[in-house]
């Protein structure tokens, strides 16, 4: 099925961070309640058609800061040859490079990140850092670069000035879509977040990526976020039932509420909706 539009309408919720009263969370309910799942090693064609087995690892990973580099470096130093296919060139020639902006990134070797184990490696294909986390029974966010474990959730910051001269920090959680990669994102051969093929997860994103979301916003804010997402899904189900009861479907007439007013539509991610229609049709 074709990729869904990037500019489809979304439902948002805002709330004050329980742990940080000076900041407000703005969360994309449409994305967080979608059924996206990672298709790596399960049908992902990759962002580069020439490297389909590399998923989104063809560009390497930019380390966000000194703490990120130190944490990943500590794990890399302990990887054995049975865990990391390209360990020899990685240790001999370096596994990082300086990027054009003065930061540090993982080195790209033979078309993909040097930490990516290729098909045929005895330990199996995939990120050596991710595989280490799985082997130790810890969350992959403890071993992988920040940009890797956060994808495809995008966290953005904005200082909001209010008319009375006060301000607050707005923290947005939304989908890391093609635009988030910059202008080059539109040139990726394939990308998952708006592809119906990737919206077949058993759980919504706010559940499947719970550990990552807690790491991004904290446990207290996540608890509020999870409640809002659950309420959104319940309301969406109720609206769908009302439509069905009125003899319509998701694209039909807006059902009428108890006061005689039309019920506002609750927005399901278009790729999730498309995946659901395909499943129903099949």
- What pTM did the predictor assign? 0.92
> pLDDT at residue 238 above 90?
no
pLDDT band of 127, cuts 50, 70, 90: very high
pLDDT band of residue 64 (cuts 50, 70, 90) is very high
- Which of 66-75, 245-254, 272-281 comes out lowest in average pLDDT? 245-254
Residue 64 buriedness (CB in 10 A; 0-12 / 13-18 / 19+): middle
Structural tokens at position 69 = 């580099």
Give me the residue spans of the domains in the chain. Answer: 1-38+158-282, 51-151
Query: What span, in angstroms and rounded, lies between the C-alpha atoms of 200 and 33?
Result: 12
Q: Are 268 and 30 in contact (CB under 8 A)?
A: yes
Residue reference for tokens 């390497």:
60
What's the CA gap between 59 and 56, in Å, rounded? 7
pLDDT at 201 over 90: yes
Beta strands in 124-233 (DSSP E): 126-127, 153-161, 167-175
pLDDT band at residue 253 under the 50/70/90 scheme: low
Specify the pLDDT at position 100: 82
pLDDT per residue as tens digits for the range 20-54: 999 999 999 999 999 999 999 999 999 999 999 99
Report pLDDT for 254.
58
User: Quick one: average pLDDT of 184-207?
Assistant: 97
pLDDT at 249: 56
């Amino acid at each position: 099925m074709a990729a869904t539009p990037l500019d489809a309408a979304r439902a948002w919720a805002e709330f004050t961070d329980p742990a940080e009263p000076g900041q407000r969370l703005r969360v994309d309910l449409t994305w967080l309640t979608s059924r996206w799942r990672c298709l790596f090693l399960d049908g992902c064609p990759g962002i580069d058609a020439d490297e389909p087995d590399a998923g989104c690892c063809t560009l390497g990973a930019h380390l966000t800061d000194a703490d990120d580099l130190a944490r990943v470096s500590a794990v890399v130093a302990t990887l054995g040859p049975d865990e990391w296919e390209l360990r020899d060139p990685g240790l001999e020639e370096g596994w990082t490079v300086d990027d054009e902006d003065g930061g540090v990134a993982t080195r790209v070797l033979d078309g993909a990140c040097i930490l990516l184990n290729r098909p045929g490696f005895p330990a199996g294909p995939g990120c050596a850092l991710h595989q280490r986390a799985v082997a130790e029974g810890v969350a992959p966010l403890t071993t992988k670069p920040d940009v890797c474990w956060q994808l495809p959730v995008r966290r953005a910051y904005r200082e909001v000035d209010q008319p009375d001269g006060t301000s607050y920090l707005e923290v947005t959680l939304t989908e890391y879509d093609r635009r988030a990669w910059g202008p080059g994102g539109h040139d990726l051969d394939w990308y998952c977040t708006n592809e119906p093929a990737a919206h077949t997860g058993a759980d919504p994103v706010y559940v499947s990526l719970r550990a990552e979301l807690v790491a991004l916003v904290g446990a207290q804010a996540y608890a509020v976020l999870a409640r809002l997402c659950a309420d959104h899904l319940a309301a969406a189900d109720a609206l769908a039932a009302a439509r069905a009861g009125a003899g319509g479907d998701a694209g039909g007439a807006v059902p009428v509420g108890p006061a005689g007013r039309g019920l506002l539509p609750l927005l399901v991610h278009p790729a999730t909706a498309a995946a659901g229609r395909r499943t129903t049709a099949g």
